[in-house]
A and B are shown apart, each in its own frame.
Chain A
């Protein structure tokens, strides 16, 4: 089973939106990031509930009406890596 990732409740994200661009502030690192619609949506899913890659693919394809194909899978893997690198998401301990 693959790892579960989520947003650490100790450091809840703050959002602001301009059209299809989103600013997200992480209170732990103090960093602000600009993300597009798809990335924002992915991150918000993880904020609601920790997920693993497979679950995230299902959720995202359902909510955005996208094909559950390799492209989406690959996108999510990349997005997760980037979120991890920026400290936006953390390994879910529970």
Chain B
């Protein structure tokens, strides 16, 4: 059963009581909340996610609720609970959905070490996958959203899960986080794009999440091989250009953008080196989405130099 199959009332009841066990990529998350707005945002953005049957093992027990006490009345806030512990400071209640997303990232980065985890988007087309590592401001999420809206399969926006043995990419398909002007850019790029509620004044500015494509969500268990690593670099002044990148420089970028390289130690080093060996490594400078999309097609058709 999918999350979208439960009625709004049922969903909020279940979230208030026994919780739902949501399948997100390889993980099962037991989720509770009394916050109605969060319940609706989940239904919209994770509607295509499968629900696991009750009981059994959940990877993460997460709940989001208002802190106890008076505070709740005059300036409502929300706390992220990881199995009863509170790892972060409270946020305004209107930031509940982004807080869920960030909190889940935190859980994965802290407790999941069977993969090398990179801060990167992962997309696939014609059986070729591209890892796009990118620090904030690189345009990674915007480009990722655009590719997903143009038929690429979305495996991840924030985290690439790279298998330590076989370098396979495990999807962890979730809504794409768009910030500030990217929100308008994507709405103009595709008028059918479905966006969740806007959260203003977060630590990253205004945030909204793009509903992931149905097809990508339904293939949440289908791993993929990796062919390319592309470092996107958005700048309004730059020209549109794909360039090969030196492998040793790419290794540095992967390390810089990794969540758990320091924990995997030798295994992380070996995996990152093998990943660079296995992939074509490129930088992509772009100033508009349409040209960037053409460039990405050239990358997967091996026609960068033509």
Contacts and interface: CB of A to CB of B under 8 A. Distances in A.
B248 A18 contact: yes
A32 B248 contact: no
B81 interface: no
A27 B247 CA distance: 21
A34 B269 contact: no
A14 B270 contact: yes
Contacts of B273: 16, 23
Nearest to B273: A16
B269 A32 contact: yes
A25 interface: yes
Contact of A23 (B251, B262, B266): B251
B265 interface: yes
B269 A14 contact: yes
Contacts of A22: 248
B219 interface: no
Contact of A34 (B248, B265, B266): B248
Nearest to A24: B269
Contacts, number: 33
B255 interface: yes
A23 B266 CA distance: 12
A21 interface: yes
Interface string B148-184: 0000000000000000000000000000000000000
Nearest to B276: A18
Contacts of A32: 251-252, 255, 269
Contacts of A30: 262, 265
A88 to B, nearest CB: 14
Contact of B248 (A14, A23, A25, A27): A23
B255 A21 contact: no
A18 B265 CA distance: 20
Nearest to A19: B247
A34 B262 contact: no
Contact of B269 (A18, A21, A25): A25
B239 interface: no
A28 B195 CA distance: 46
Interface string B247-273: 111011001000000100110011001
Closest 7 CB pairs of A and B: A16-B273, A21-B248, A25-B269, A18-B247, A34-B248, A30-B262, A23-B251
Given A18-B248, A34-B248, A34-B252, 19 more contacts: A14-B266, A16-B269, A16-B270, A18-B246, A18-B247, A18-B276, A21-B246, A21-B247, A21-B248, A23-B248, A23-B251, A23-B269, A23-B273, A27-B266, A30-B265, A32-B255, A32-B269, A34-B249, A34-B251
Interface of B: 246-249, 251-252, 255, 262, 265-266, 269-270, 273, 276
25 contacts: A14-B266, A14-B270, A16-B251, A16-B269, A16-B273, A18-B246, A18-B247, A18-B248, A21-B246, A21-B247, A22-B248, A23-B251, A23-B269, A23-B273, A25-B269, A27-B265, A27-B266, A30-B262, A30-B265, A32-B251, A32-B252, A32-B255, A32-B269, A34-B249, A34-B252
